[in-house]
Amino acid sequence: MELHSGHRQRLKERFIKSAQNSIPSYELLEMLLFFANPRSDTKPIAKELLARYKTLSSVLVADSDELKLVKGIGDSATF
């Protein structure tokens, strides 16, 4: 059994329940990364990106070549 089995589903459910409240930036980024990394743990990638770029908006506008310097970010995770 996978170590983080069910994590993505729990995160999605928490997001839906907290639609009226704030969700931490790393969790929102983690969910966005689900599409680019469907089989890997995106939490450490999200936290590394936020540590490097400080805000979610800075991550979203960052240069794709710079983003690829973060382990786990490849062509599918950049625009």
15-46 pLDDT tens trace: 777 765 678 889 889 988 988 888 889 999 99
Nearest C-alpha neighbor of 50 from the set 76, 75, 24, 74: 24
What's at 28, amino acid-wise?
L
Which whole-number Å values give the CA distances from 6 to 11, 35, 41, 42, in the listed order? 9, 16, 12, 13
Query: What tokens were used for 75?
Result: 């062509």
Query: Considering the entire predicted model, what is its pTM?
Result: 0.72
